Amino acid sequence: MSTTSKAENTGGWALAVLLGVLAAGAATRAVAAVTATTGPADGATLVKTYCGACHLPDRQGTLARIGDERKTPEGWVMTIFRMQNLHGLQLPATARDTIVRYLADTRGLAPSEAAPARFALERRPNVPDLALPGDLQRMCARCHSAARIALERRDAADWLKNANWHLAEFPTIEYQEGARDRHWWREASTKVPAELGRLFPLHTAAWAAWQRHAPIDLAGRWLVRGDEPGRGTYWGTAEIRRTAADEYRTTYRLRFADGQALDGQSHAIVYTGYEWRGTATLGDRSTHEVFAASPGGRRLSGRWFLDDHAEIGADWDAVRAGRAPRIVLVSPRAIRAGTSTRVTIVGEHLGGRVDLGAGLRARVVHRGRTSLVLQVDAAAHAAPGYRTVRVGGANAADAVAVYDRVDRLDVTPAYAIARLGGGKIDPVAAQFAVDAIEEIPGPASKPQAVHLGALPVAWSIGPFDAQAAHDRDVDFAGRIDSRGRFLPAGAGPNPKRPFHADNTGNLEVIATLPPGAAGRPTAVVGKAHLVVTVQRWNTPPIY
């Protein structure tokens, strides 16, 4: 049953967002100045100065607790924020930044350790959380994500201390729904730390190996491709310059498939040797970048998102420019049979013969340094399915698809949450996109789905069930725009609703492809489930 409102926990997240200080120009210089003259040794000194009064050293000089944990830069930011917020630590922002860098560098996660929960660092909206085994999920991933836990490493003894802190700080934990059906503390103080110590231990081969890893220099020229849900594919180049140890400035020349420019600049710090965190301007937007460099330093991928709306952002994938011919992207990824389409192939050293496979005839319109623009005629009877694209010595398997009709629209995310806005808290939008699919006979005459990507659809909302229809949620909860972004209404009681209910709602999001575009007599419709719920009072860096 329900918990009482007494069983609330406090969060109190102010804006201790990683790299927040870099946003302002003056602050940027201040940080750069500090970091230019300080290295890890200074980080160690600052930790002793600011943390040492409470965190006493052991015989080896390791500070209590601090030496017993490893976590992401965001994880360290959160911990240090709590030291300031609950324990009265006075820490200037510049010292904090140096300490976070030092701790993330010396007590971070190896790339393979962070990989499964990167979605949480990247603030990807509406992706399913990790599932912790057994009872851990119920015990520990009820208030925050399992990812928050999976992004830390400690031995059982320190996991136990963390459990102690939880119950000490939130004494109602063991009374809350989802906890009071069991001897919560008995489990939290025995089985849970033991299991976490096994799953996420302090000492690992991966971390030992990563610490021996040769440093990566990310400076150079990069080819970029990405996709912004609701906006489309973009591509271009990035020039990365190194400005200090693990600090970079980047110039972007990017554009969307429709030609609109997405140029910009970024200033980034690389933590733990591979965790790229940047503040950027892209077009007219201020963004954060959460990327990871591949261990070989040839790839940089992740997500960027708006400063003030992490739910709006885009995938990002950059590969270092090289000498060999290479195709990184074909746009659009689907060509309808019987049409003539402008197609861009993004890559490098794209000289030589162009071949898009059976039923497609390509004429080169323009050859650029990193792109090749083609006019492609698809024969009326070109067989639907994927094609391998070849340009001179470069090829890309299944890089483009031919279709003659659309059988299905998958709307992603299939389940989403949006939050009402009001007061000082912005609404949290939900961005939907479609993946159009044609089903063709595959091997062993099983149908094979050919993914055509986003096609232009009409967006609408409807009630998810009879209750939502009765309560007219569609009229109150918000609206969806022509690019598939749902914009929630305001929070608080609404006198127009029965019982002055708030504007929450249970909706169906509907994407419709008209008969003509779908190549069939009737429209094709795809649906997703959208829950419009109340505000969240805190926005920690890791949910």
Partner 1 sequence: MNPKTLLRLALLLPAIAQAASAAPKKDYIVTGSKPDRLFLIDAAARRVVGDFKIPGAHDWVGTIVPSPDGRIAYVLVNRMESIAGIDLGTGKEVFRADLSSPGERVKCLFAFDVTPDGKQMLVYEVPVKLGLSEYQVEPTRFAVFDTNAGLHAKPVREFPAPRRVHTLLTDKNDRTFFALGFDLYEYDIATGKRLETRGIRHWDHPGHSRPDLLAFWPVSEPTGIFAAPIYSTRTPAAGHGAPVPVTSLMTLNLRTGALAYHDVEKTSALIFSTVLSPTEPAAFGAYTQLTKIGLDPYRVEKRVDLPHTYYAVLVSTDGKEVYTAGAMCDVTVFDADTLAEKANIRLPGCGDQSVTSPRLVRR
| CB-CB contact of 487 with 441 (8 Å) | no
The tokens 């870099």 sit on which residue? 22
Decide which of partner 1, ligand HEC, none touches 1; Cβ closer than 5 to 8 Å per partner kind: partner 1
Q: Which amino acid appears at position 112 of this protein?
A: S
Among 172, 243, 448, 460, binds partner 1 (CB under 8 A): 172
Residues 291-313, buried b or exposed e (16+ Cβ, 10 A)? bbbebebeebbbbbbbbebbbbb
Decide which of partner 1, ligand HEC, none touches 88; Cβ closer than 5 to 8 Å per partner kind: ligand HEC
54 contacts partner 1 (rule: CB under 8 A): yes
Among 34, 175, 520, 523, binds partner 1 (CB under 8 A): 175
Calculate the alpha carbon distances from 188 to 9, 254, 368 in Å.
Answer: 18, 50, 60
List the structure tokens of 268: 């980034």
Rounded CA-CA distance 404/269 in Å is 47
The tokens 């949290």 sit on which residue? 428
Binding piece for partner 1, criterion CB under 8 A, among 163-171, 291-299, 384-392, 473-481: 163-171
Look at residues 534, 459, 432, 539 and name the one whose alpha carbon lies nearest to residue 490.
534
Rounded CA-CA distance 180/142 in Å is 13
Min dist. Cβ of residue 307 to partner 1 (A): 33
- 172: buried, middle or exposed (CB in 10 Å: 19+, 13-18, 0-12)? middle
Element (H, E) at 395: strand 394-403
Residue 103 or residue 319: which is nearer to ligand HEC going by CB?
A: 103
- What is the rounded radius of gyration, in angstroms, for the C-alpha atoms of the chain? 26
11 contacts partner 1 (rule: CB under 8 A): no
492 contacts partner 1 (rule: CB under 8 A): no
181 contacts partner 1 (rule: CB under 8 A): yes
Decide which of partner 1, ligand HEC, none touches 174; Cβ closer than 5 to 8 Å per partner kind: partner 1
Decide which of partner 1, ligand HEC, none touches 189; Cβ closer than 5 to 8 Å per partner kind: partner 1
Min dist. Cβ of residue 5 to ligand HEC (A): 14
Min dist. Cβ of residue 522 to partner 1 (A): 38
Among 34, 48, 65, 126, binds partner 1 (CB under 8 A): 65
Among 74, 122, 174, 407, binds partner 1 (CB under 8 A): 174
- DSSP helix/strand/coil, 295: coil
Residue 116 or residue 441: which is nearer to ligand HEC going by CB?
A: 116
Residue 192 or residue 223: which is nearer to partner 1 going by CB?
A: 192
Rounded CA-CA distance 145/541 in Å is 12
476 φ, ψ to 5°? -115, -30
Instruction: Count the residues of the shown chain that bind partner 1, applying the rule CB under 8 A.
Output: 30
Report CA torsion sign: 137, 73, 431, 10: positive
Residues 6 or more apart in contact with residue 469 via CB below 8 angstroms: 463
Among 23, 91, 167, 216, binds partner 1 (CB under 8 A): 167
The tokens 């200090």 sit on which residue? 244
Among 185, 285, 439, 494, binds partner 1 (CB under 8 A): 185
Decide which of ligand HEC, partner 1, none touches 543; Cβ closer than 5 to 8 Å per partner kind: none
Rounded CA-CA distance 453/415 in Å is 19
165 contacts partner 1 (rule: CB under 8 A): yes
Binding piece for partner 1, criterion CB under 8 A, among 54-62, 131-139, 311-319, 442-450: 54-62
Min dist. Cβ of residue 142 to partner 1 (A): 16
Rounded CA-CA distance 379/337 in Å is 6
Decide which of partner 1, ligand HEC, none touches 11; Cβ closer than 5 to 8 Å per partner kind: ligand HEC
Binding residues vs partner 1 (CB under 8 A): 1-6, 54-56, 64-65, 161, 164-165, 167-169, 171-172, 174-175, 177, 180-181, 183-186, 189, 499
